[in-house]
Amino acid sequence: MFEKGLRRLGVVRRFFSAKTDTSLVRNIGIIAHIDAGKTTTTERMLYFSGKTKRIGNVDEGDTITDFLPQERLRGITIQSAAISFNWQNKFRINLIDTPGHADFTFEVIRSLKVLDGCVTILDAVAGVEAQTEKVWKQAKGIPKVCFINKMDRAGAGFSRTAKEIIAKLNTRILLVNTPIFTADPVSREPVFEGVLDVVAQKVLRWDSKDPLKVSVEEVTVDSQYWSELVQLRESMIETLSEFDEELVEYFLETAEGEYMRIPYDVLIKSIRKLTLANFATPILCGASFRNMGVQPLLDAVVNYLPSPLEAKKPEINTDVSIEVSQKGGAVVNKNNNLCVAQAFKVITDPIRGIMIYVRVYAGCLNSGFTVYNSSTGAKFKIGKLVVMHANVAEEVKELRCGEIGVLTGSTVSENVRTGDTIVTHCIKKDGLRSLDKIKELGLKINPIETPPPVFSAAIEPRTLGNKKMMEDSISKLIREDPSLHVSVDEETGQTLLSGMGQLHLEIAKDRLLNELNADVEVGKVMVSYKETINACCEVQDLETEDGFKFSITVEPLEVARASKNHDDLWQSLSLDDNFLIMEGQLNHGQEWPFQVTLEQITSALISSSIAALQKSGKIANFPLHSCVVRVKSGWTIPLDETSVSKILTQTRMLIFEALNKLEKSEFAVLEPIMHISVNVKQGDMGHVLQDLTGARKANILSIDDEYDMNSGENVDVKFQKIAEDQYLPKDSTMGKASISSSATANKTIRALVPLKEMVTYMNRLRSLTQGSGSYHMGYHGMEQVTTDRLPNILENY
Ligand SMILES: Nc1nc2c(ncn2[C@@H]2O[C@H](COP(=O)(O)OP(=O)(O)OP(=O)(O)O)[C@@H](O)[C@H]2O)c(=O)[nH]1
């Protein structure tokens, strides 16, 4: 219980030991729609855990996790920040606070890749918002708890939000605590004062002046909360019984069918079981800004979210076994000496240089050991290892299975990129030779997918002498943020920087100018267009005198998918939905004959394919999208060749040559299509709809009442029924739905729209709705530009 944690606060504020038992580690992410209160909640978690001695606030720009100058200035999270702290003096929580803005979705994707559990924060007034639905889907399969925040705001609706969680996020819920209110002495309006803890059967009230002071009151039969508590427990136990046989047995036999006789520990165990199985989501509430409800949330993190030993196993490229032992954590290929880790984030620290965040999946990573990057084939020694507390580093000797930490040192900076897998021996400093070449050194954790960039801007040095510095600064930026892309037009020499949205490019520009001191000019932000091919092309058996032999085809993605062969090695080019296929590579069987490794060859082929597909569109030189470069089986290189540079140049030329065989008519221009949800008052609906379908060429998917769950396209009928049947306490504050009369009732329009038509939409929506309308937009996919709009697009590009 958190009271124990509180009591300890004044006494124990020491750093945790690096050797925390793996079963006591929680790697969690905080995910939500923008402004739901992720950073505010994280800040309180750090304070209540004893990690910080004062509470930072987003609005004053002094939080621990939003430490970039741009984050403090704008009051939003831009990059995910990792921080470790203790709870209950025994659990170690590694927490990543992720950005909520859709432009920084890659930060969420890469964090989710290495996390075992999530806290989803919701704004009690806004309910389940569009970005919440999106991140919830991205976190599929990861156990979650929900925190309904901002219960202090007028219009907060706990039960309304809880109902939306069931219906829109398609999960059963377990109400771990519910809000309690007191009446304002003057206005008599309800004021949020604490929570009813359904599991511990207590009422917790926070002192508005002292954040550490909480009064705890047992709920007994004569309490005003007793009958509410009985109903809440009954409802919780019914949901638990749907899944947990052991609980049913306990309820019927030991508790003799009495809901109130199931003890705290038995309930915690059962809630944990359902959460880990992704059968249900525990729900809690509070108001982080007022320091209310955060300690129970931390208790929920350790009580209900998985340790690394219980988490989803990593997805890897081969079929070796991954077993989990309570003592050693995950063991890959039955080898207790094998360490497997994945790099998920790279940052450049002004003092420490390049820092690579890794998650260790098996074994133990030791400083000073030689490691192998199985994604690139590079072998190198790692330097110091550190654990980060936002921007403060603590040096550690080792990172064990399940932990998140940082690699530092110059060798590391040259050899590791986001998504790479690192393999090493846990005991011998230079023990790579004793690892199995194919099953262990060849093992890769599936890479982190990068979403496609949809906006780009030309960028150029102010003076010619600054070109090199500009290139270096851009590559630093891209190393940190692979969702930014750079391409150079070989004919005009123009450099284009592409990203996930206008804000993303704006921040990149700010960082280039102010943090990296690059003397550059950045042009107008424009939509990124692509081209694709609708026919295959090939170059057969190119043989050079010095012994290189390759046959290559370039195919549309759907053609390659239709003829997928399980012996082929598919590699994502991490860009534009393009792939490289190496035919028959999983079937070689015999001894590897070449000096260079398969990983080095594959890495070279990936680089040459990316370069060749960058500017190959025949209609307008746009980069190619949804294309596959296939290297046919039977390829060879000279046996004594020690470098891959020739493979790079030869295959790049071959891809160009193949593409040149296609006619212009076999190419098509693609544009980014966005899904949008627009919230407007009923009275404004007509104008907004007319504008969307007319000027913006939108394809309307649905029009729903904002809080009407009877008609949403993403409402599953099964969960709608569960939502209707769920027992929920009456909302004490005035819910938004009850405030609105039919004339002002909010409507949500969902539609698919070309991004080009949405560039100035915010201003347009404001003027159509007198400032009351709002919208949210996310990437849907690339689609062929319709013939009527193509000439205009090409003319203006
Ligand atoms: N009334 C009220 N306001 C809150 C509460 N929690 C956060 N806020 C405010 O909501 C705004 C957004 O809070 P943040 O913590 O930055 O939200 P976020 O989810 O981290 O935002 P992004 O990371 O930019 O997506 C700030 O103005 C906070 O002060 C709360 O419990 N009650």
Least trusted range by pLDDT, from 124-138, 626-640, 669-683, 737-751: 737-751
What is the model's pLDDT at position 2? Answer: 44
- Specify the pLDDT at position 565: 79
- Asked whether the predicted pLDDT for residue 491 surpasses 50, the reply is yes
Strand-pairing partners, residue 445, are 316
Known binding residues:
32-39, 97-101, 149-152
Cα(114)–Cα(82) distance, rounded to whole angstroms?
A: 11
pLDDT tens-digit profile of 497-522?
999 888 899 889 988 888 888 888 88
Give me the mean pLDDT over the 151-180 stretch.
Answer: 95
Q: Is the CB of 293 under 6 A from ligand 1?
A: no
Q: Which residues pair with 387 in a beta bridge?
A: 394
What's the pLDDT at 426?
93
DSSP letter assigned to residue 640: T
Average pLDDT over residues 442-454: 85
Average pLDDT rounded to a whole number, residues 74-80: 65
Q: Is the CB of 100 under 6 A from ligand 1?
A: yes
User: Residues 406, 385: contact at Cβ < 8 Å?
Assistant: yes
* Distance (Å, whole) CA 77 – CA 64: 11
Q: Is CATH 2.40.30.10 correct for 322-434?
A: yes
User: How many residues does the structure list for the chain?
Assistant: 797
Q: How far apart are CA 240 and CA 270, in angstroms?
A: 7
* pLDDT(8) > 50: no
The rounded Å distance from CA 344 to ligand 1 centre is 26
Q: Is 287 in the pocket of ligand 1 (CB under 6 A)?
A: yes
The pLDDT-based confidence of 742 (bands split at 50, 70, 90) is: very low
Regarding the beta carbon of 32 and ligand 1, being less than 6 Å apart is answered yes
* Nearest CA owner, ligand 1 atom 13: 37
Supply 320's token pair. Answer: 């070796």
User: Which of 491-505, 553-567, 647-661, 780-794 has the lowest average pLDDT?
Assistant: 491-505
Ligand 1 close to Cβ of residue 37 (< 6 A): yes
Residue nearest to atom 23 of ligand 1 (CA): 77
The DSSP result for 677-735, as a single string, is EEEEEGGGHHHHHHHHHTTT--EEEEEEETT-TTS-TT--HHHHHHHHHS--PPP-S--
Please tell me if the CB atom of residue 150 comes closer than 6 angstroms to any atom of ligand 1: yes
Kindly report the number of other CB atoms within 10 A of residue 352's CB atom: 15
179 has which bridge partners? 195
Q: Is the pLDDT of residue 317 over 90?
A: no
Tell me the pLDDT band of 319, cut-offs 50, 70 and 90.
confident
Average pLDDT over residues 624-633: 92
Reply yes or no on whether the pLDDT at 326 is more than 70. Answer: yes
Q: Give the pairing of strands 579-582 and 627-631.
A: parallel
Q: Does domain 536-661 have CATH number 3.30.230.10?
A: yes
Non-local (6+) Cβ contacts of 540 within 8 A are 551
Shared fold status for 322-434 and 668-795: no
Does residue 76's CB lie within 6 angstroms of at least one atom of ligand 1? yes
Q: What is the mean pLDDT of the chain?
A: 86
Check residues 24 and 548 and name the one with the higher pLDDT: 24
pLDDT, residue 696, reads 93
Q: Is pLDDT above 50 for 17?
A: no
Q: Where in the chain are the domains?
A: 23-304, 322-434, 455-527, 536-661, 668-795
Give yes or no for residue 59 having a pLDDT over 80.
no
Mean pLDDT of 183-209: 92
Q: pLDDT value at position 279?
A: 96
Output the pLDDT for position 708: 47
- Of ligand 1's listed atoms, the one at least distance from the Cα of 153 is 1
Of residues 98 and 715, which shows the higher confidence score?
A: 98
Fill in the amino acid letter for 222. Answer: D
Q: Considering the entire predicted model, what is its pTM? A: 0.80
In ligand 1, the atom with minimum distance to the C-alpha of 121 is 19
- Res 13: pLDDT: 31
Percent of the chain with pLDDT over 90: 43
CA of 291 to the centre of ligand 1 (A): 12
pLDDT band at 530 (very low <50, low <70, confident <90, very high): very high
Angle at 659 between CA 654 and CA 665, to 5 degrees: 170
**pLDDT bucket at 585, cuts 50 / 70 / 90:** low
Which atom of ligand 1 is nearest the CA belonging to 40?
Answer: 15
Q: SS3 of 554, please? A: strand
Please state, for a pLDDT cut of 70, what percent of the chain lies above it: 90
Say how far apart CA 187 and CA 609 lie, in whole Å.
68
Q: What is the CA radius of gyration of the chain?
A: 28
pLDDT (0 to 100) of residue 394: 86
* Tokens coding 734: 């005035």
**Average pLDDT for 588-603:** 76
**Which of the 8 DSSP states describes residue 544?**
-
Identify the top-confidence range among 119-133, 321-335, 594-608, 698-712. Answer: 119-133
Measured distance CA(703)–CA(707) in Å, rounded: 12
Q: Is CATH 3.90.79.10 what the domain over 455-527 is classified as, yes or no?
A: no
User: Tell me, what amino acid is at 270?
Assistant: S
Q: What is the pLDDT of residues 699-730, one digit of tens each?
A: 999 887 754 444 444 457 888 889 989 999 98
Going by C-alpha positions, the residue among 399, 306, 259, 236 that lies closest to residue 27 is 306
Q: In the structure, what pLDDT confidence band is assigned to residue 60 with cuts at 50, 70 and 90?
A: low
Mutate-to-test residue for ligand 1 from 30, 31, 35, highest number of ligand atoms within 8 A of CB: 35
SS3 state at 659:
helix
User: Which atom of ligand 1 lies nearest, measured to the CA of 77?
Assistant: 23
Strand intervals (E) in 439-574: 455-461, 485-488, 495-499, 520-522, 526-527, 530-533, 537-543, 549-556, 569-572
Find the range with the poorest average confidence among 72-81, 424-433, 460-469.
Answer: 72-81
| 373-415 residue pLDDT tens | 998 888 999 989 998 775 678 889 999 999 999 998 877 877 8
Tokens of 238: 């019914």
**ipTM score over 0.90, yes or no:** yes
| Max CA separation in the chain (angstroms) | 94
Strand partners, 532: 668
365 contacts 383 by C-beta, under 8 angstroms: no
pLDDT tens string 200-258: 999 999 988 888 899 999 999 999 999 999 999 999 999 999 999 999 999 999 989 88
The answer to whether domain 668-795 has CATH 3.40.50.150 is no
Beta strands in 468-614, from DSSP E residues, in sequence order: 485-488, 495-499, 520-522, 526-527, 530-533, 537-543, 549-556, 569-572, 579-582
pLDDT confidence band for 733 (50 / 70 / 90)? low
HSE-up of residue 246 (Cα within 13 Å, Cβ side): 9
Domain 23-304: which CATH number of 3.40.50.300, 3.40.50.10330, 1.10.10.10, 3.40.50.2300: 3.40.50.300
Q: Tens digit of pLDDT for each residue in 650-707?
A: 888 899 999 999 999 999 999 999 999 898 888 899 999 999 999 999 999 988 775 4
